[in-house]
């Protein structure tokens, strides 16, 4: 809890103020030319070491950029765990957007989806553009086992890991993120590609898998694409150009992978029970955000996630269909 900072509620992409850390000793040097540390000030009885300063944003000032967006107020105000240097910081409150008289002034807790907001702070936001849906790796394995066998699914996932790929991790769980617009995580598409490999191609890939693993981590999408291009060279040798980015990504947007995504989305949505999205939307409209707070925010999360799954299905269904060959 930070005095004054805790007065502000969160609003995604609509905040009026940001909280950032500042070096109190630097401020002292600028204002007074005093080189004494905050420790010295403590000995003199100065109790204002944790002042919250309201700083007016100037033209061209980029203090309110992404670094403040990506951290919550709680994280920004956390003291050094070791206890050292905790007297060297003030908390600055920077105005980033004007507010009219009578308007509520908002802070931001970070760019988080509804699941994170509900888990950490106990509320959600309607139409949150940072909302996502998590699909567990175990759910993908379950789908694969139902289509082939458990042994088949385990072997394909093992090869995917062997090649250096992984999903997001949280405690002991591994999962994939589906973005607000229904875009699936790239690593999920690569896993599905490996699942659909013909047995002889799969065996060939297993034999050379150790040679395909690079020393560098896959830090961004381009790194993952470059890594997958090596897999493509083994599994789909072509006369020219298959390693190029547009061609490689096109391989991950096949009819088979799109169909698999739709099936996985259905399994994920079945976890909500027998009610439909329309049922949940009607319940949400009839629910009071004040009198039925817990139910209301649970429904907001539920409706948002089901809409994202719908966008995932639509996204996958838009991929080109495989043309059937005509028999002569």
- Indicate whether 154 and 263 sit together in one domain: yes
Angle between helices 186-195 and 150-162 (to 10 degrees): 130
Whether residue 100 is found in the same domain as residue 193: no
Beta bridge partners of residue 93, listed in sequence order: 19, 54
Asked whether residue 234 is domain-assigned, the answer is: yes
Report which of 179, 172, 183 is spatially closest to residue 137, judged by C-alpha positions.
172
At residue 54, φ and ψ (nearest 5 deg) are -95, 115
pLDDT in tens, 173-209: 999 999 999 999 999 999 999 999 999 999 999 999 9
Same domain, yes or no, for 199 and 241? yes
Per-residue model confidence as pLDDT tens digits over 225-269: 888 988 998 988 765 554 455 467 888 999 999 999 999 999 999
Classify 287 as helix, strand or coil: coil
Shared domain check, 267 and 138? yes
| Residues 261/263/269/273 CA torsion (nearest 10 deg) | -170
What domain range includes position 12? 1-21+90-110
Q: Which of 272, 295, 311 is the last residue of a domain?
A: 272
Q: Are residues 141 and 98 in the same domain?
A: no
C-alpha pair distances (Å), 125 with each of 114, 116, 218, 293, 300: 7, 11, 32, 12, 7
The count of domains in the chain is: 2
Same domain, 200 and 98: no
Q: Are residues 205 and 95 in the same domain?
A: no
**pLDDT of the chain along its 328 residues, tens only?**
566 666 777 777 767 777 777 655 554 544 454 444 444 434 444 444 333 333 334 444 444 333 333 344 334 434 443 344 445 567 777 887 888 888 888 777 778 899 998 998 888 999 999 999 999 999 999 999 999 999 999 999 999 999 999 999 988 899 999 999 999 999 999 999 999 999 999 999 999 998 888 655 666 788 888 889 889 989 887 655 544 554 678 889 999 999 999 999 999 999 999 999 999 999 999 999 999 999 999 999 999 999 999 999 999 998 877 655 454 4
Tokens of 33: 């030319």
Q: What are phi and psi of 285, to 5 degrees?
A: -65, -30
Query: Exposed e or buried b for every residue in 39-67, given b needs 16+ CB within 10 A?
Result: eebeeeeeeeebeeeebebeeeeeebeee
Is residue 126 domain-resident? no
Domain contains 62: no
Laid out side by side, the sheet with 173-178 consists of 133-136, 173-178, 168-170
Domain match, 101 and 205 both: no
Is 194 domain-assigned? yes
Q: Are residues 95 and 158 in the same domain?
A: no
Examine residue 61 and state whether it is found in any structural domain, yes or no: no
Task: Judge whether 33 lies within some domain.
Answer: no
């Amino acid at each position: 809890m930070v005095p004054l900072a805790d007065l502000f509620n969160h609003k995604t992409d609509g905040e009026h103020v940001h909280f950032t850390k500042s070096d109190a000793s630097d401020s002292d040097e600028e204002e007074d030319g005093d080189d004494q540390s905050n420790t010295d000030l403590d000995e003199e009885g100065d109790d204002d070491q944790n002042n919250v300063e309201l700083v007016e944003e100037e033209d061209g000032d980029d203090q309110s950029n992404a670094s403040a967006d990506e951290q919550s107020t709680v994280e920004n105000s956390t003291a050094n765990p070791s206890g050292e240097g905790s007297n060297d910081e003030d908390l600055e409150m920077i105005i980033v957007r004007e507010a009219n008289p009578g308007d509520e002034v908002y802070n931001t807790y970070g760019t988080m989806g509804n699941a994170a907001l509900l888990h950490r702070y106990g509320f959600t936001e309607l139409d949150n553009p940072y909302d996502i849906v998590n699909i567990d790796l175990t759910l993908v394995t379950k789908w694969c086992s139902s289509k082939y066998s458990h042994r088949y699914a385990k072997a394909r996932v093992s090869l995917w890991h062997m090649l250096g790929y992984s999903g997001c991790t949280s405690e002991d769980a591994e999962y994939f993120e589906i973005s607000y617009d229904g875009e699936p995580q790239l690593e999920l598409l690569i896993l599905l590609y490996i699942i659909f490999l013909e047995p002889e191609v799969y065996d060939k890939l297993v034999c050379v898998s150790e040679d395909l693993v690079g020393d560098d981590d896959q830090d961004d999408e381009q790194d993952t694409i470059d890594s997958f291009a090596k897999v493509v060279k083994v599994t789909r040798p072509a006369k020219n150009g298959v390693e190029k980015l547009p061609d490689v990504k096109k391989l991950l947007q096949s009819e088979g992978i799109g169909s698999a995504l739709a099936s996985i989305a259905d399994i994920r949505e079945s976890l909500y029970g027998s009610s439909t999205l329309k049922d949940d939307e009607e319940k949400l409209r009839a629910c009071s955000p004040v009198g039925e707070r817990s139910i209301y925010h649970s429904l907001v999360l539920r409706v948002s996630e089901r809409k994202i799954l719908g966008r995932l299905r639509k996204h996958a269904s838009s991929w080109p269909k495989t043309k059937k060959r005509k028999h002569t």
